[in-house]
Structure 1
Amino acid sequence: MLNDISLEVATIALTYIDAHNRDTWLKVGNALKTEFGSSGFDIWDDWSKTADNYDAKAVKSVWRSLTVGKVNIGTVIYLAKQNGFDISKHEVKPIDPQEQAARQAKREQQAREAEAHEKAEVEALTAIAKQIQQVANTPFVTPYTQDKGMSTTGLLSINCNELHAFKHPFDTYNGKPQSIGYALKGLVTLAPFCDLKTGEFVRLQGISGVKATEGKEAGTYIKRFIGKGVSFWWQGYIKKQGIAKIVFEGVSDAQTTHEHTNKPCLAAGGKDQLKKAALALRAECPHDPIIVFGDNDPKGEGQAKAEAAATAVNGIFLLPPSQYKDVNEWVLAEGAESLNKMIDDAIDNTVIERSRNKKAVPDA
């Protein structure tokens, strides 16, 4: 017979878990939603607030998209135990079989409802993103592209007032439909993200034309996605066989590197998408060298995610010099000669190493 983990016990267990790691954060959210349904949101939200990068709107948005049944409450208890939580000190009662069946039925119903809502939201947001794409302009320059010293090839722009006229199909603010891209200001840069396999448009990434002045994104151009779905932005013949490809977190690095190396470059849309991007590219180009370029993050997350992505596809992991946050910053400061040399040397070394390995394998 299974044990009944109450909300109170789960809340205590969460105090033993660090909320900063995104993978852990998502697992905990899935587990709480699976075990407690909508009742689990409040304790997940409270726990999320212990992270210094807490974003209330992101918490609500992600909660809606979490898949019921993907992770169970045992994961929360396991993670808490790793940091000293002792469940034997808390009252845990066996679950009656009938109660267990009732809970399972409720979870399945919630899962069906969540799936239907997610499908409706994806379809609605995709339609809105396509409408925005149609009314957007092909820019000569935007504040973002000017600051990054890159061209506007493959990009669009729209005034924030025009963008905000589009409303979210479900989200509200003060009782009214929430504006699309409400955090984006000025002349907004739009990057169309597409399905790598089919080339079909999936969503837009909007990049603010004014740097944020407060909050955790202060000093940066805020980025927000319009639409949902696994998708990427690229320049060059990304699926052409026989040539190396380069994967980055963001658009500015991909654009800058393509312009200065003429190599096909792909933007994953964030460090958490690097592995998905690398795997998708490997599926299309099984034999080509794939380079994954990381960012130099203060806490090492960008570096770790990029290295993991490169490892997953037997690719090449690279970083800009440590004094620069990313490749774009590096090229703006020093030009592209060192970047080209780093990439070419990495590709040459990989080709030589693979050739040696082939020769080392004896004939059957």
Structure 2
Amino acid sequence: MTDMPDITLDDLRGLLAHISADDRDTWVQVAMGVKAEFGEGGFDEWDSWSQTGAGYKAAEALSVWKSCKGGKVGIGTVVHLAKQGGWKLRKQDLTAAERKQRKADQDARRKARQAEIEADEALSLAMQQKIQEATLRLLAEYTTARGKSEYLDRKGVAAFGVRFVSKPVVLSIDAKLMRCDLWADDDIRHFFSGLPNPRPDHHSFMFLKPGTFLIPLSDLSGAVWSFQSIAPNGKKLFPKFSRKQGCCYWVGKADPMPVIALAEGYATAASVYHATEWPTVMCVDVGNMVAVGRQLRQRYRDAVIMIAGDDDPTTKDNPGRTKAEALAAEIGAVAVFPKLPEQGSEAA
């Protein structure tokens, strides 16, 4: 943070006025940059600016703000965007004492923000452990190896080792109490009757029912950390705080594996495996595919890695294709873009 421009909270409103809030990628970048510099103190100004964008939704804005953890984008990015829009830092004649005080305020603000980031990271790591413990119990006690899924039927793919929810169960996650609990049978009614309204930010839950299946997500050493749930209607969810980066799900893992395929979603991974019999790794999304792909190349140096990317030219910048091709070039893989049968508008 030492190279950050000397921007104060008083400067922020004028700076943001030179940036359009209509583009989502820019909107998210600005959130990350403002929060990196000002912490929670920057939310009001960022939120006011966000309201100038098309399609603003307060709940979505709050969710995006909370998801910004720091480290990726700083205030320098926001300043760059503002300069592109014609912004110039207003000149001020400051005394030596005022400059010294301003520098002290800036250092204190950034120190406080760094403390927030470290506290968030510590909480995330602790909650990941709690999610891991709850996931192992959930898979062991509330799922079976056989079951039915309207989603799998609709996609026309088989269930390769996934787990089917066998009875209604609630996974409750409380970051304030640092615990995860499973509620089943009559306890479900007690859980909902005792749920505060409005629900506090530190408390989240997932209500899992038969017809939903779970995909265990493991690191490459085989340790299960979390899961993705897919409901009959195709809705996909992860537990809050769960670890995703570097975690994946193998469809058809074997030994040896001269060819390994990577895919984003389960339906694509299962389809690739069914068509080729290559061990296929479900990476959840293209961002995590980069993390998993790098680790796979280190672990399986002699394997041919095939990346089954998602090609969607209707999406801005087509990240499924561009990131798959970039990863292929980086790790010496081959990027392919399979054409799957039309199965509605939901993602694979």
TM-score range, shorter chain: 0.7 to 0.9
What residue identity is the alignment partner of 1:110? R
Match of 1:222 among 211, 215, 235: 235
Classify the secondary structure of the residue corresponding to 2:101. Answer: helix
Indicate if the aligned counterparts of 1:13 and 1:77 stay in contact, CA closer than 8 A.
no
Classify the secondary structure of the residue corresponding to 2:169. Answer: helix
CA distance in 2, matches of 1:120, 1:224: 21
Per-residue CA deviation, residues 232-286 of structure 1 (Å, 9 max, x unaligned), is 1112337x56611111110111122223322110111112222222212112122
What residue identity is the alignment partner of 2:277? N
Q: Deviation at 1:142?
A: 1.6
Q: Deviation at 1:179?
A: 4.2
Indicate if the aligned counterparts of 1:189 and 1:206 stay in contact, CA closer than 8 A.
yes
Identity of aligned residues (%): 25
Name the residue aligned to 2:155: 148
Aligned: 1:110 with 2:113: yes
CA distance in 1, matches of 2:91, 2:285: 41
Indicate if the aligned counterparts of 1:3 and 1:92 stay in contact, CA closer than 8 A.
no
Normalised to the residue count of structure 1, the TM-score between the two structures is: 0.71
Name the residue aligned to 2:320: 302
Normalised to the residue count of structure 2, the TM-score between the two structures is: 0.74
CA distance in 2, matches of 1:122, 1:323: 40
CA RMSD of aligned residues (A): 3.5
Q: Deviation at 1:155?
A: 1.0
Aligned: 1:175 with 2:205: no
What residue identity is the alignment partner of 2:18? A
Q: Deviation at 1:43?
A: 4.4
What are structure 1's unaligned runs of at least 5 residues?
Answer: 212-220, 331-364
Q: Deviation at 1:207?
A: 1.1
Per-residue CA deviation, residues 176-231 of structure 1 (Å, 9 max, x unaligned), is 5744236x7762211111112x211111111122x2xxxxxxxxx12111212421
CA distance in 2, matches of 1:129, 1:51: 39
More helix by share: 1
Name the residue aligned to 2:78: 76
Aligned: 1:199 with 2:222: yes
Indicate if the aligned counterparts of 2:15 and 2:82 stay in contact, CA closer than 8 A.
no
Match of 2:268 among 253, 257, 263: 253
Classify the secondary structure of the residue corresponding to 1:151. Answer: coil
Per-residue CA deviation, residues 54-108 of structure 1 (Å, 9 max, x unaligned), is 7935x54554453445432111121344xx41123x6355783333233323332
CA distance in 2, matches of 1:309, 1:257: 19
Indicate if the aligned counterparts of 2:143 and 2:166 stay in contact, CA closer than 8 A.
no
Q: How many residues align?
A: 308
CA distance in 1, matches of 2:286, 2:56: 15
Aligned: 1:319 with 2:337: yes
Aligned in 2, Cα 1:325/1:228: closer, same or farther, shift over 3 Å?
same
Indicate if the aligned counterparts of 2:15 and 2:87 stay in contact, CA closer than 8 A.
no
CA distance in 1, matches of 2:113, 2:47: 19
What residue identity is the alignment partner of 2:250? W
What residue identity is the alignment partner of 2:253? Y
Name the residue aligned to 1:334: none
CA distance in 2, matches of 1:53, 1:232: 33
Aligned in 2, Cα 1:36/1:159: closer, same or farther, shift over 3 Å?
farther
Aligned in 2, Cα 1:76/1:302: closer, same or farther, shift over 3 Å?
same
